[in-house]
Structure 1
Amino acid sequence: MTPRIEPAARPYEADMEKTLERLMPPGVEPLVLFRTLARNPRVFRRFMAGGLLDKGTLTLREREIAIDRACARCGGEYEWGVHIAFFADKVGFGEEEIAATVAAGTDASCWTPRERLILRLVDQLHETSNVNDDLWGQLKAEFSDEQLLELVVLTGLYHMVSFTVNALRLPLEPYAARFPD
């Protein structure tokens, strides 16, 4: 796949070089997504300011379930694959969980009831851009208001990321996971 906008190439501006370096593990080239957005430093900085990969109110596993499901529902294989590559082991995802983030339905046996609620939330937001009262009541019984805000915003952010990587037709990172068959 040929990207619609070529990623920025070295040498980057000094402050952009430092920023890109901080985002990646040592020795790993900045993501194509980051290098492409770096073509517009203002957009890149605003994009990065909207991230929620810091320590929030959810566990890393819960955050990754929401992120991976949102990307999968949008067909955002690029971002889904990067997250699986960097975080699946850290959050204890095996093959079943990885496949279940992409599969239809939320009843895979690998998920706890709490995790299924996250999947149902992401699916309902994706399908309706809203959350019905029944699901909201179930979510309120399990999650704090702070956690619900984080889940809804996280889902929206990764819809935006998926829209971006899909519209720009970014090539998949060589080390990233691919959607299961």
Structure 2
Amino acid sequence: MHAPRIAPVEGPYAPAIREAFDRVMPPGMEPLNLFKTMAHSPRVLQRMFAGNLLDPGPLSLKDRETLILRTCARCGCDYEWAVHAALFSRAAELSPAEMAATRADDPDALLLRVADELHDGAALSDRTWEALSARYGPGQILEILALCGYYHAISFIANGCRVAAEPFARATGAQGATGD
């Protein structure tokens, strides 16, 4: 286990940072280490929060979390995978098998394939696009693409800064190592 490369900002927080944390964190929950790390750049923090896509959107919670978990797993981001597994998997009604599939080497589910193709080539094959278009509308497809891109950026920050695991979330080995 490596030490964080950028230590999280500790409170008391500047008013704008406190307000940002209050908007995204459940009452009484300490801000995530990722957010406290990002607080070193209020501009980055605010922009990331503005595009967080965790509000109720055009996708089901289950579809959204499946995409997030697979994207984080493919990026080797144990930190974010574990946070989402701990905070959202139950509400998303993801079974143990579905959770395991987000880390499988050869997934066959459509959304896992979408995340893989975007991760591997920053594009979708015609076959995958056709399957996606048969199941989702244009607004949902745009949300899918944005979610995968957003969680690549989150993974880059968490992995690059070596953000420390949250006490409530245990990383259990997403594909790829996050350390050197």
Q: Kindly indicate whether the alpha-carbon contact (under 8 Å) linking 1:102 and 1:179 is maintained by their aligned counterparts in 2.
A: no
| Residues 3-25 of structure 1: CA deviation (Å, up to 9, x unaligned) | 11111111111232132133222
Is 2:73 the partner of 1:80?
no
| Residues 25-84 of structure 1: CA deviation (Å, up to 9, x unaligned) | 232210001001111111110111111111111001100000000000000110110001
Q: Kindly indicate whether the alpha-carbon contact (under 8 Å) linking 2:53 and 2:147 is maintained by their aligned counterparts in 1.
A: yes
Aligned pairs for 1:37-116 (under 5 A) are 37-107=38-108, 116=109
Q: Kindly indicate whether the alpha-carbon contact (under 8 Å) linking 2:78 and 2:173 is maintained by their aligned counterparts in 1.
A: no
Q: How far apart in 2 are the matches of 1:15 and 1:91?
A: 31
| Residues 138-170 of structure 1: CA deviation (Å, up to 9, x unaligned) | 111111011111001100110111111000011
| Structure 2 residues without counterparts, runs of 5 or longer | 175-180
Q: How far apart in 1 are the matches of 2:42 and 2:173?
A: 34
- What is the TM-score of this pair, normalised by structure 1? 0.91
The aligned counterpart of 1:149 is: 142
Q: How far apart in 1 are the matches of 2:23 and 2:110?
A: 34
The aligned counterpart of 2:4 is: 3
| Structure 1 residues without counterparts, runs of 5 or longer | 108-115
Alignment length, in residue pairs?
173
RMSD: 1.4
Q: How far apart in 2 are the matches of 1:16 and 1:178?
A: 27
**In terms of mean alpha carbon deviation, does 13-22 or 153-162 score higher?**
13-22
SS in 2 for 1:36: helix
SS in 2 for 1:57: coil
Q: Kindly indicate whether the alpha-carbon contact (under 8 Å) linking 1:73 and 1:123 is maintained by their aligned counterparts in 2.
A: yes
The aligned counterpart of 2:124 is: 131
- What is the TM-score of this pair, normalised by structure 2? 0.91
The aligned counterpart of 2:178 is: none
Q: How far apart in 1 are the matches of 2:163 and 2:173?
A: 19
Letter of the 2:127 counterpart = D
Q: How far apart in 1 are the matches of 2:31 and 2:25?
A: 6
The aligned counterpart of 2:177 is: none
Q: Kindly indicate whether the alpha-carbon contact (under 8 Å) linking 1:84 and 1:177 is maintained by their aligned counterparts in 2.
A: no
Q: How far apart in 2 are the matches of 1:14 and 1:179?
A: 35
